Amino acid sequence: MSDPVLSLSGVSLSLQGNAGPVSILHGITLDVHRGETLGLVGPSGSGKSSLLMVMGGLEQATGGHVSALGHDLTGMDEDALARLRRDHFGIVFQSFHLIPTMTALENVATPLELAGKPDARGRAAEELAAMGLAHRAGHYPSQLSGGEQQRVALARAAAPRPDIVLADEPTGNLDSTNGAAVIDLLFDLRDRHGATLVLVTHAPDLAARCDRVITLDDGRMSRAAA
């Protein structure tokens, strides 16, 4: 098996709540390999999304080690983490998180512009067209439906050809038809570009399409299934 693109060792995460520190993750040790699709499942509040955020450097682990593509995330400052995401990650959220002041095209072009890629807008337009949204390129997020917004978010995540795609309940806010379309696009992304895909989901049928599924319960890995 190839070297892991993501490697977590004894990772724990505590956050400061109003009533004191709250432990979210406990001793997570896990490797994710290139091209693999990993599903994270478990009840609400089990720590799935937090684990995904730790993997993307959006949340700093309070214990253990996290490395991505050979980079140790634990000691990185915020800007170094941002640059790592820029060069290697694509992230998709349940609530899409498009920038409301930017058009669909500008949203997709932003990571390409950040990476200094030539013809960012042209490539963004191609990516939107691939998602079936060429006619919506000049629309602002508030002018798009939920399904369309999530497809724009997918195009944005895919545009820089990331090594790793992290998706946090990408179909959580969509109806079944739109949800299925988004999942197809997400897996197509893995198939076309060989990206590693980690996704959090509540949907059993979506989890079933993954190479491997890890169940979390109260911040601990309770079961891993291939």
Name the site residues for other proteins (rule: CB under 8 A): 49-50, 53, 56, 58-59, 78-79, 82-87, 89, 91, 93-95, 97-103, 106, 110-111, 113-115, 121, 140, 142, 156
Is residue 29 within 8 Å of 10, Cβ to Cβ?
yes
Residue 180, token pair as written in the block = 């299925």
Provide Rg for the chain, Cα atoms. 17
DSSP state of 92: E
DSSP conformation letters of 21-44:
EEEEEEEEEEEEETT-EEEEE-ST
168, β-bridge pairs? 200
Strand 4-17: give its sheet, edge to edge: 20-33, 4-17, 63-68, 71-72
Q: How far apart are CB 225 and other proteins at their closest, in Å?
A: 26
Nearer to other proteins, 58 or 210 (CB): 58
Q: How far apart are CB 81 and other proteins at their closest, in Å?
A: 8
Nearer to other proteins, 2 or 101 (CB): 101
Nearer to other proteins, 82 or 209 (CB): 82
Q: How far apart are CB 211 and other proteins at their closest, in Å?
A: 25
Element of type H or E holding 110: helix 104-114
Nearer to other proteins, 122 or 194 (CB): 122
Q: How far apart are CB 124 and other proteins at their closest, in Å?
A: 11
212, β-bridge pairs? 38
CB atoms under 10 Å from CB of 63, counted, come to 15
Report d(CA 191, CA 69) in Å as an integer: 20
Nearer to other proteins, 85 or 151 (CB): 85
Q: How far apart are CB 218 and other proteins at their closest, in Å?
A: 18
